[in-house]
Structure 1
Amino acid sequence: MKQPVGVILAGGLATRMGGGDKGLLPLGDSTLLGQVIDRLRPQVADLALNANGDAERFCALKLPVIPDSVEGYAGPLAGVLAGLDWAATIGADCIVTAAADTPFFPCDLVPRLQLTAEGMEHPLVLAATPDPERGSARHPTFGLWPVALRDDLRAALQNGIRKVVMWTDRHDGRIAMFPDEAAFFNVNTPDDLERAEAML
Structure 2
Amino acid sequence: MKQPFGVILAGGLATRMGGGDKASLMLGGQSLLSHAVERLEPQVAGLALNANGDPARFAATGLPLLPDPLSGHPGPLAGILAGLDWAAAEGGDTVVSVACDTPFFPCDLVPQLLLAAEGMEAPLALAASQGRRHPVFGLWPVSLRGALRAALDRGERKVAAFADAHGGREAAFPAPGLDPFFNINTPADLAEAEAVLA
TM-score for both structures, normalised by structure 2: 0.97
C-alpha deviation, 1:130, in angstroms: 2.7
Question: Aligned pair 1:165/2:141, yes or no?
Answer: no
The alignment yields a C-alpha RMSD, in angstroms, of 0.8
Quote the residue 2:58 is aligned against: 58
1:186 corresponds in structure 2 to 183
Identity of aligned residues (%): 65
> Shift in Å at residue 59 of structure 1?
0.8
Query: Are 2:170 and 1:196 equivalent residues in the alignment?
Result: no
CA distance in 2, matches of 1:126, 1:32: 22
What is the match of residue 116 of structure 1? 116
Does the aligned pair in 1 maintain the 2:125–2:168 contact within 8 Å?
yes
- What CA distance in whole angstroms lies between the structure 2 residues aligned with 1:170 and 1:194? 37
Q: Can you give the 5+ residue segments of structure 2 that lack an aligned partner in the other structure?
A: none
- 2:190 is aligned with what amino acid? L
Match of 1:184, as an amino acid?
F
SS in 1 for 2:179: helix
Aligned length: 195
Q: Deviations over 1:157-184 (max 9, x none)?
A: 0001111111111111001000116100
**Structure 2 counterparts to residues 7-156 of structure 1, below 5 A:** 7-131=7-131, 137-156=132-151
For residues 33 and 158 of structure 2, what CA distance do their matches in structure 1 show?
Answer: 24
What CA distance in whole angstroms lies between the structure 1 residues aligned with 2:165 and 2:26? 39
Q: Following TM superposition, by how much is the alpha carbon of 1:70 offset from its aligned partner in structure 2, in angstroms?
A: 1.1
